[in-house]
Each structure stands twice: as structure tokens, then as C-alpha cells.
């Protein structure tokens, strides 16, 4: 029997436009269903006399389906009642001495009127609406300024700031803005001084900076006060730290490239420890090394008691000790190729060409030691990895005796090998310096009040 071969192919729809139309129809039906649901919710709320909520549901229905006739009719009917509800809430709040709540009713009414207009149903408002609104805003601002002053006198800085911030919602005029700024400046200055008295130095600086930014002029009385508070907080809050030179375990020493540890310590001193953040003062590394010599601590892993003794010897608030625990260099995805060549005397020989990826891995362990408690308040490890390609050739004899092309000679040259490794080591070094210093500074900052 003759075999029959069948081929199966994916067939495109014959009428893709119909599919698009069907999808559009589904979306339209879904939108209509959603609009109908919101309309029904609005109608039920209207029956319950909740005119504001009902009007919002009708607006939502029209957002879903702008041609929804019932929702539009009901919004026209219930919208004015909703406006009256907002105005009545404002009147009642003002009558009970809650001017800011009354002003908030006007803000909500503004938002409601904008939403109705956006769906094509602008609603009427009282003829003197703008004047009513402005009067209520002015009364709310005045009440909140009075509240802020009272909170300042009571030392309730958070409540004072909240009062002045709330007043800013009600579109203050130029004169009112000046009053609010003055209140905020006084609040932040008082807050900064209170934090300073309680030893909360970081918060004291933060509030002094905010007062200075609001005052604008550093030469003004408020500006000078802010600068004085800031300087005092930094002086009292700064901790002095001794950072010992980085060392390595015996296991790591077997694989660390020559000069890497020295370069690491140099970059830490020149880049990381020379530019500490606010509230951290790093002791001159030269003085630290001199103290280590005086204590007879030579190139070794420091214990917590030794770091405590060093801290007391040089008079610092904390010490940081670190070492490289692990350092490995491994080859990955290695490929090999046996190649033929001739010596300069014409003798045929073979050598091996190898290429692939070098993976460097380094793990640091460090401790932040508190001399008062004589313990490590932070102990962490950091792992850094870096990779890059390598390429070299291996020959049992003296490769310079081989007749090679210029490119082939490069596979044997030591400088070429060094280019690959130095590029990876440089990236590893910078990444480790950045990560190590950032982690240490974060831990030290946690010791600052």
C-alpha cells in the first residue's frame, strides 16, 4: 500500500478583522455592564437620600459609558442636591468652630464639580460661591495658625507642623504664606533644639536644615540660629572611629594575587575612609598603624579584646576590624585546542591553547567594636564576585624556540595573561571597596543617636 504523507500547518484565521471586532464587542459589553452596575448602585443610594454618594456613582457610570442615558438624567437630578449637601456640611462645621473641616468640604465640592464637568454635566453653584469659599479658607488658615502657635508653646512640634501644613491646602495669599513660613521655621528650630537637649543629634540636624531651607537667608536671625543648632548637633553627635588595616586568613593568602591586599588598603584609605558621611570621623590611618605597632599588633587578625584595647589607647568611640576570609580564582567553561607548530630548527611539535572564563570570589568579614561594652556590636560578611575571559597557550619546552605568528605569540606572552587578570582584579577591587565602605558606614551610623 502506498504511504500517505500528511503535512500539518498552522492556518491563519480567514477573517482577522472579524476577530478584532469580536474583541471590541466583548470590551464594549463589559464596559456597559460595569456602567449599569454603577448606575444601579447610585440609584439605590439616591433612594436612601445619600445624594453625594449617588451622584459619584452616576459620574462613575458615565466614565464607563458616556452614552448611558439614565445615569446622565439622574446626575442632572441629584447633582444639585449633592452640591447643597457639601455646602450644608461646610455650614455646620463652621458653626461648631471647625473651620478647617468646613474648608475641606469646599475642597471636596471643588473636586466633585470638576468630576461632573468632566463627564459633560457642569453643575450650578451659588452666585456668591467664590466669595463664600475664600472667606472660609481665610477663617481656616487663621484658626490653624492659632492652633500652630498654641502647639509651639506646648512644645508639641509635630502637631504644630501638621497645623501649618494643613493650612497650606487652602490657597493662602502672600501675607498668609509669610505667616505660615514663619510658623514652620519656629517649629523646626524649636524641634531641633528639643532634639539637641535629648541627644537626638541626627534629628536635630534634620530639623535645623528644614528651618534653614524655609528661612531662605542664612544671614537672617533664624538662619543663624539654624546654623548654630546644626553645628552643635554635628559636634556633639559625631563618633570617632579607628579602622585597622585589612588582613587575610592563611587560606585566602594562598590565592590572593601579589599586591592585591596592599592596593585594597590603599584605596580604602584614599577613597573610602578619607570622605566619611556626616557624624562619622575616621581617625588618620597613619596614627592607627602607629598605635598598632606600639601595641605590638603586627599584620594579624584582630580579636575583639585587642580592638577594644586599641580603641581605648587612641581614644575613639569605635573600631572596625576586617579580614579577607576567602579568595578563590577558578576557571570555567574552558575549551582546549591542540595546535601544531615548528621549532625554528624546523622540527614539528604540538602545544595546547586554552581559553574560557576566570571567576574571582572574595569574602570579607568585619566587626564594629564598641570599647565601652567590649563587644562587637556588628559582625557581617560581604561576598564579591567578578568574572572575565582568559586565553593562553601551554608548551612543554621553551615557547620562544617556536616559529609562531604574531597572534600566536600573544597566547604565550606573560604580559598578555596579566592584562586579563588585572582587568578582573581591578573591577573586583573597586566593587569590594565600595560595598565594604558603604556597609561599614551604615553600621556606624546606626550607632549615632
User: Which of 219, 183, 187, 178 lies closest to 206 in space, CA to CA?
Assistant: 187
* pLDDT above 60: residue 84: yes
What values do phi and psi take at 48, rounded to 5?
-85, 0
* pLDDT above 50: residue 6: no
Strands 375-394 and 348-370 turn out to be antiparallel
Please state which of the ranges 61-70, 131-140, 146-155 shows the lowest mean pLDDT: 61-70
Using DSSP's 3-state secondary structure scheme, residue 273 falls into coil
CA pair distance 213, 220, nearest whole angstrom: 12
* pLDDT above 70: residue 22: no
Q: Please state, in angstroms and as integers, the Cα–Cα distance from residue 7 to each residue in 4, 101, 118, following that order.
A: 10, 76, 58
User: Which of 167, 158, 232 lies closest to 188 in space, CA to CA?
Assistant: 158
Give 375-401 pLDDT, tens digit per residue: 999 999 999 999 999 999 999 999 999
C-beta separation of 243 from 441 below 8 A: no
User: Which of 222, 368, 240 lies closest to 307 in space, CA to CA?
Assistant: 368
Residue 6 vs residue 12, higher pLDDT: 12
DSSP secondary structure, 134-171, as one string: HHHHHHHHHHHHHHHHHHHHHT-HHHHHHHHHHHGGG-
Residue 418 CB neighbour total at 10 angstroms:
12
* pLDDT above 80: residue 11: no
pLDDT at 29: 47
Cell of 18: 472579524
CA pair distance 347, 403, nearest whole angstrom: 10
State what percent of residues in the chain have pLDDT above 70: 92
Cell of 107: 475642597
Give 308-360 pLDDT, tens digit per residue: 999 999 999 999 999 999 999 999 999 999 999 999 999 999 999 999 999 99
Q: Please state, in angstroms and as integers, the Cα–Cα distance from residue 240 to each residue in 51, 190, 265, 392, following that order.
A: 65, 28, 19, 49
Residue 50 CB neighbour total at 10 angstroms:
17
pLDDT at 20: 42
- How much is the pTM? 0.76
Span between the terminal Cα atoms of the chain, in Å: 93
Continuous segment of H or E residues that includes residue 321: strand 318-343
Strands 280-282 and 402-403 turn out to be unpaired
C-beta separation of 402 from 349 below 8 A: yes
pLDDT at 34: 87
Task: State the chain's mean pLDDT as an integer.
Answer: 90
Model confidence at 27, pLDDT cuts 50, 70, 90, reads very low
State what percent of residues in the chain have pLDDT above 90: 85
- Nearest-5° angle of CA 200, CA 272, CA 360? 125
pLDDT at 355: 92
pLDDT at 31: 53
User: Which of 299, 317, 300 lies closest to 308 in space, CA to CA?
Assistant: 317
CA pair distance 44, 155, nearest whole angstrom: 49
Residue 296 vs residue 172, higher pLDDT: 172
Model confidence at 420, pLDDT cuts 50, 70, 90, reads confident
C-beta separation of 39 from 47 below 8 A: no
* pLDDT above 90: residue 104: yes
Give 190-212 pLDDT, tens digit per residue: 999 999 999 999 999 999 999 99
Residue 337 vs residue 414, higher pLDDT: 337
Domain annotation for the chain: domains and CATH numbers: 16-125 (1.25.40), 149-236 (no CATH), 240-445 (3.30.160)
Which long-range contacts does 13-21 make (Cβ < 8 Å, 24+ apart)?
none
Q: Please state, in angstroms and as integers, the Cα–Cα distance from residue 60 to each residue in 36, 75, 125, 147, following that order.
A: 10, 11, 21, 38
Enumerate the H helices of 346-411 as residue ranges: 406-410
Amino acid at each position: 500500500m502506498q504511504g500517505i504523507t500528511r503535512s500539518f500547518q498552522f492556518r491563519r484565521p480567514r477573517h482577522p478583522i472579524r476577530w478584532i471586532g469580536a474583541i471590541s464587542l466583548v470590551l464594549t459589553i463589559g464596559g456597559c455592564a460595569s456602567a449599569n452596575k454603577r448606575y444601579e448602585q447610585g440609584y439605590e443610594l439616591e433612594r436612601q437620600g445619600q445624594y453625594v454618594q449617588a451622584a459619584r456613582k452616576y459620574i462613575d457610570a458615565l466614565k464607563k459609558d458616556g452614552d448611558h442615558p439614565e445615569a446622565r438624567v439622574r446626575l442632572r437630578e441629584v447633582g444639585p442636591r449633592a452640591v447643597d449637601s457639601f455646602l450644608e456640611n461646610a455650614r455646620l462645621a463652621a458653626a461648631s468652630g471647625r473651620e478647617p473641616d468646613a474648608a475641606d468640604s469646599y475642597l471636596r465640592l471643588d473636586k466633585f464639580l470638576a468630576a461632573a464637568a468632566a463627564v459633560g454635566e457642569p453643575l450650578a453653584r451659588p452666585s456668591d460661591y467664590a466669595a463664600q469659599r475664600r472667606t472660609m479658607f481665610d477663617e481656616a488658615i487663621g484658626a490653624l495658625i492659632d492652633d500652630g502657635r498654641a502647639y509651639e508653646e506646648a512644645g508639641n512640634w509635630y502637631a504644630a507642623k501638621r497645623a501649618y501644613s494643613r493650612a497650606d491646602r487652602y490657597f493662602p495669599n502672600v501675607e498668609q504664606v509669610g505667616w505660615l513660613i514663619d510658623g514652620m521655621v519656629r517649629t523646626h528650630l524649636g524641634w531641633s533644639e528639643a532634639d539637641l537637649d535629648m541627644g537626638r543629634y541626627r534629628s536635630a540636624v534634620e530639623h535645623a536644615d528644614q528651618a534653614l531651607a524655609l528661612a531662605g537667608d542664612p544671614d537672617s536671625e533664624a538662619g543663624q540660629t539654624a546654623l548654630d543648632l546644626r553645628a552643635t548637633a554635628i559636634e556633639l553627635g559625631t563618633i570617632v572611629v579607628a579602622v585597622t588595616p585589612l588582613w587575610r586568613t592563611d587560606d585566602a593568602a594562598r590565592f590572593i594575587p601579589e599586591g592585591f591586599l596592599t592596593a585594597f588598603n590603599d584605596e580604602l584609605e584614599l577613597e573610602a575612609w578619607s570622605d566619611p558621611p556626616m557624624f562619622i570621623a575616621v581617625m588618620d590611618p597613619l596614627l592607627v598603624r602607629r598605635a598598632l605597632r606600639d601595641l605590638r599588633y603586627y599584620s594579624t587578625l584582630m580579636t575583639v579584646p585587642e580592638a577594644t584595647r586599641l580603641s581605648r589607647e587612641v581614644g575613639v568611640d569605635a573600631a572596625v576590624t576586617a579580614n579577607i576570609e576567602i579568595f578563590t580564582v577558578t576557571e570555567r567553561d574552558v575549551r582546549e585546542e591542540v595546535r601544531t607548530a615548528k621549532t625554528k630548527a624546523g622540527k614539528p611539535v604540538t602545544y595546547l591553547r586554552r581559553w574560557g572564563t576566570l571567576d574571582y570570589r572574595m569574602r570579607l568579614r568585619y566587626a564594629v567594636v564598641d570599647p565601652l561594652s567590649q563587644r562587637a556590636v556588628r559582625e557581617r560578611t560581604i561576598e564579591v564576585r567578578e568574572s572575565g575571559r582568559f586565553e593562553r597557550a601551554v608548551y612543554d619546552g621553551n615557547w620562544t624556540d617556536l616559529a609562531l605568528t604574531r597572534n600566536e605569540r600573544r597566547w604565550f606572552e606573560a604580559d598578555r595573561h596579566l592584562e586579563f587578570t588585572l582587568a578582573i582584579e581591578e573591577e573586583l577591587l573597586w566593587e569590594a571597596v565600595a560595598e565594604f565602605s558603604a556597609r561599614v558606614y551604615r553600621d556606624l551610623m546606626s550607632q549615632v543617636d
